[in-house]
Chain A
């Protein structure tokens, strides 16, 4: 099987410029269009409302730090305004920091300190939830440290609080349970990517799929040129030929997709766990798609017209999914985007 991989590597080595271009094209596109991505990222920041009913130093700190989050557009407003904004879909969600927030945290409690108001349409507010949860956890644990030190030694609460706070750099993320303000129970889903990132990943996916489809022409040409016959008579069977070419197709698909996806996540400062989670999912979908393509290709008799059909399917999958034109669950791009 590896003989066929080495055969194709050898063939690609003869045209290094073309091979490198095919491999690096999506990365080049990512790097060259990164300024556009950045702009898109700013424009697509998730709008959330924050209501600070406590107006204490703790609540102000939470609001200030959440405002620093790159992918959130934080709007301060009153409680009725926030609820109305959520209902109208002007913000993804609202977070109401209740009166007594600071006292509650200083007492070492975290339950029901913030109300999370969201609607059925809310999807991207989990970012805000994460950011607020992290700050809440940070302050509450600092307060607990301050309390403990004050009770057991001569160290003041403030000193203990400050001392504990220095252990939070770089800022870790924690999930907290919030009391949800909406009537609907919303299952906690995966961390979604921004829509521009999703479209870009879908484009890389399309590119990798197309490269793999075009590679299938090799098998048609082998048959037409009599090489497959020669292999059949040489090796007795063609199992290793087909297994070897399947391996090459998978390597080609992964090789064109994965570096581009990682480069994209790296440039857009996506966290490593999110990067790994999405890259892993996209790879699984890509491999599944390539396996289906492969068996369809074999099942349809390895004809030239199947290449045209697969190209149309791949482009259709991307277009229909991105444009959300229905029947989307049938398309690999849809599987990619709707990560369970």
Chain B
């Protein structure tokens, strides 16, 4: 569905993604792990079409991203790592604003379900800057998923969220996946990824060094640890697998 062919990304002289090729299959739930600065977020931004590759091609259902950009953006829901919300607005005003700028009609039933599941009605009239980190994350997810996307890109959506809120979010995302949506999910929490993913991607040294099932990851784990011995953060992450 989404194919990367010999893609790399540089910012000025700094290489953030070294050349790699991979395919993300439709309907898969991909858990992405890796140390900080390994290129996970940049990879997600490439999928979201927020960044252009410096080299190589990205295609969406066989069409280049340049041609399919509108379709890509219409089908992709992106939840950034940052709380990308207007802090002064209430939850209600926030959702109303993002709905207004959405070029397509928002699916009312999906939105209501999302509000119920994330229990946003409990803080409906509260300003974002007066909410706890967990609530802010939930609103951040809700805004990112507003268009009822078929491909959901989530960059550490539960960072700093309390356990109860985390369970709400994971449960809802699992349901979305079961309904056939594609998920690409970055997290440092292996337990969380295990609940959601049917496939994993491991990033190290600025590229994906592994893509496959949990069973294959367990088989490859020691090889990976040997290959990236110097990368202590990666080793620590893989120890949890």
User: A and B bound?
Assistant: yes
Determine whether the beta carbon of A226 is less than 8 Å from that of B86. no
Known contacts: A14-B88, A226-B84, A229-B50. The answer to whether A7 contacts B70 by CB under 8 A is no
Determine whether the beta carbon of A233 is less than 8 Å from that of B86. no
Determine whether the beta carbon of A225 is less than 8 Å from that of B101. no
Minimum CB–CB distance from A303 to chain B (whole Å) comes to 15
Determine whether the beta carbon of B82 is less than 8 Å from that of A226. yes
Determine whether the beta carbon of B82 is less than 8 Å from that of A11. no
Q: Is B144 an interface residue (CB 8 A)?
A: yes
Residues in A with CB closer than 8 Å to B88 are 10-11, 14-15
Determine whether the beta carbon of B49 is less than 8 Å from that of A234. no
The segment out of B16-24, B55-63, B92-100 that lies at the interface is B92-100
Residues in A with CB closer than 8 Å to B152 are none
Minimum CB–CB distance from A32 to chain B (whole Å) comes to 30
Residues 109 to 130 of chain B near chain A (Cβ within 8 Å): 127
Residues in A with CB closer than 8 Å to B93 are 10
CB nearest to A2 among chain B residues: B100
Known contacts: A3-B97, A14-B88, A227-B86. The answer to whether A236 contacts B80 by CB under 8 A is no
Determine whether the beta carbon of B102 is less than 8 Å from that of A7. no
CB nearest to B48 among chain A residues: A233
Determine whether the beta carbon of B70 is less than 8 Å from that of A236. yes
Known contacts: A10-B89, A236-B69. The answer to whether A230 contacts B84 by CB under 8 A is yes
CB nearest to A228 among chain B residues: B84
Q: Is B73 an interface residue (CB 8 A)?
A: yes
Determine whether the beta carbon of A7 is less than 8 Å from that of B97. yes
Question: Mask for A225-261, Cβ within 8 A of B = 1, else 0?
Answer: 1110111111110001000000000000000000000
Residues in A with CB closer than 8 Å to B135 are none
Minimum CB–CB distance from B125 to chain A (whole Å) comes to 13
CA distance A11 to B76 in the complex (A): 28
Determine whether the beta carbon of B102 is less than 8 Å from that of A234. yes
CB contact between B103 and one of A15, A227, A230, A235 (< 8 Å): that residue: A235
CB nearest to B69 among chain A residues: A236
Question: Mask for B49-85, Cβ within 8 A of A = 1, else 0?
Answer: 1100000000000000000011001101010111111
Determine whether the beta carbon of A225 is less than 8 Å from that of B82. yes
Residues of B within 8 A of A (CB): 45, 48-50, 69-70, 73-74, 76, 78, 80-86, 88-89, 93, 97-98, 100-103, 127, 143-144, 146-147
Residues of A within 8 A of B (CB): 3, 7, 10-11, 14-15, 225-227, 229-236, 240
30 contacts between A and B (CB under 8 A): A3-B100, A7-B89, A7-B97, A10-B88, A10-B97, A11-B88, A14-B89, A15-B88, A225-B83, A226-B80, A226-B82, A226-B84, A227-B84, A227-B85, A227-B86, A229-B45, A229-B78, A229-B80, A229-B84, A230-B84, A230-B98, A233-B49, A233-B50, A233-B73, A234-B101, A234-B102, A234-B103, A235-B101, A236-B70, A236-B73
Instruction: Give me the 9 closest cross-chain CB pairs, A-B, nearest first.
Output: A226-B84, A226-B82, A226-B80, A11-B88, A230-B84, A14-B88, A227-B84, A3-B100, A236-B73
